[in-house]
Structure 1
Amino acid sequence: MQKLVFVLALMVVFSFNGFSVAAAHDYYGSTITAEQAAQADAIAKSIADEVMSNSAYTTDLQKVRAAAEIVTAYGAKCRYGNDENKYYRSPYGVFISGNMTCAGMVRAMGRVLDFMGYEYVHVNENEWSHQWITLYMDGKQGYIDPSVFPGGLAGYGEYRY
């Protein structure tokens, strides 16, 4: 009960213009081991570190676009669709096993955003619909769709898929 109250309190604290930022995201589900999650997290962290250490990126949008390009490049090497372990819907699928869907791409991008220090919303999470990210960058509402090849999409405003 205390955990639920804490999560709800965080959602209230992180409420922005009509949507809430969840306190925690489910990136890996029950089919990924802790070791597999650590492997994927290491790649996500290395992407975040690479982008955040590049002084050429001076705005949030530049940083997010650069990260989206890298995540999308990983996704471009993947097979699309189901695998028996359901890796396709996690960062492990995108970064390690070579299986992806838009859900996995969003979770991979989300994990990178975590390491970059950004709060975000996973749009249409766990639905049979296209999924993407909304977030605030440079004080403005924006979006990321890492499933658009090549290079992903990131920009200000509302995303019209």
Structure 2
Amino acid sequence: EIEYGSKIDLKQFSATDLSKTEITLDDSKVNYKKSGTYKATVIAEDSSENKTTKEVDVVIKEEKKEVTKKESNNSSSSKNNGKSNNTSGNGSRLTQAKAEAKKIVNKIAPNGMTDYDKAKAICKYLFNNVSVQTDQSNEAYKKNHGDEAYGALILKKAACSGFCNAVTLMCQEAGIQTQHINKNKWTHQWNKVKVQGKWVILDAQGGMFGMSKHPLQEANETQQVVQFTDVNGQNSFVSPNY
């Protein structure tokens, strides 16, 4: 999400490889002078010319217009009457996130699928398409909204809390009951969903789905690394205090 007329800062993207990696951007479809949501492609290329691409949503904010004294007075009057036409901030981001959740769920979890398969599809989508925001300071959240569903669904980068909030919105669209575990706590957060009459784990950040007990809980109890199979069918591991 960037200001009207600004350019995308490549410093917000990172890539890890054993050799030197260069990051470039194809933003030919982005109109920086028109508010809206656009698609851009981030390209990471190593010294051996191996490439990885990632499609991202670019949200151009509304143009900031100079407010005249008359407009300012009208705005104050509106607030005094208990009315507000403010569409910026968290409310606007939540609206965008809900719309994106509906769009994604309609695509990956259409009617006819079981709740179990829908929930697994939601977990798999977020696990495969959203990167993890490692800077989880309040300052980073104010800038990147990684603790919101907006971070996961629109910016495609979020902390565990952002993943959880995205899961909640997507499950609401899919008609699946969900719980947000450790919500508002400064520790790892995940979801539970009710499928086939049972509550099971859905940790979209870790790609964990279907367990009756979170692997992190087992790791913390035993103080040992715990192996599990993620939604992509790959063997993964969780260490204590993950």
Moved over 6 A (4+): none
CA contact (8 A) 1:123 1:131 kept: yes
1:80 pairs with 2:138: no
| 1:139–1:84 Cα change, 3 Å | closer
Q: Structure 1: 5+ residue runs without aligned partners? A: 1-30
The structure with higher relative contact order (CA 8 Å, sep 6+) is: 1
Query: Does structure 1 retain, via aligned residues, the 8 Å contact 2:109–2:121?
Result: no
TM-score, structure 1 normalization: 0.68
Q: Deviations over 1:90-121 (max 9, x none)?
A: 01111223441101111111110111111211
Aligned residue in 2 for 1:44 = 101
What's the offset of the Cα at 1:73? 2.5
Matched, 1:155 2:224: no
Q: Report which of the two has the higher share of helix.
A: 1
Structure 2 unmatched ranges of 5 or more: 1-87, 217-242
Match of 2:153 among 95, 105, 112: 95
8 Å Cα contact 1:65/1:153 also seen in 2: no
What is the aligned length? 125
TM-aligned CA deviation for residue 75 of structure 1: 1.5
Helix, strand or coil at the partner of 2:205: coil
Aligned residue number for residue 11 of structure 1: none
Aligned to 1:145: 203
Shift of the 84–133 alpha-carbon distance from structure 1 to 2, 3 Å rule, reads: closer
Rg larger for: 2
Report % sequence identity: 25
Q: What is the CA–CA distance in structure 2 between the aligned matches of 1:147 and 1:155, rounded to whole Å?
A: 14
Assess, with a 3 A threshold, how the Cα gap between structure 1 residues 35 and 158 changes in structure 2: closer, same or farther.
same
Q: Structure 1 pair 146/32, CA: closer, same or farther in 2 (3 Å)?
A: farther
TM-score by length of 2: 0.47
Structure 1 residues 84 and 113: alpha-carbon distance in aligned structure 2, compared to 1, 3 A threshold? closer
Paired with 2:107 and 2:210, the residues of 1 have a C-alpha distance of 20
Q: Given the superposition, is the C-alpha separation of residues 32 and 97 from structure 1 closer, same or farther in structure 2, using an over 3 Å criterion? A: farther
SS of equivalent to 2:215: coil
Task: Report if the CA contact (8 A) 1:140-1:156 is conserved.
Answer: no
Paired position in structure 2 for 1:132? 190
Distance in 2 separating the partners of 1:159 and 1:125: 15
Cα offset for 1:54?
Answer: 6.1
| SS of the residue 2:187 aligns to | coil
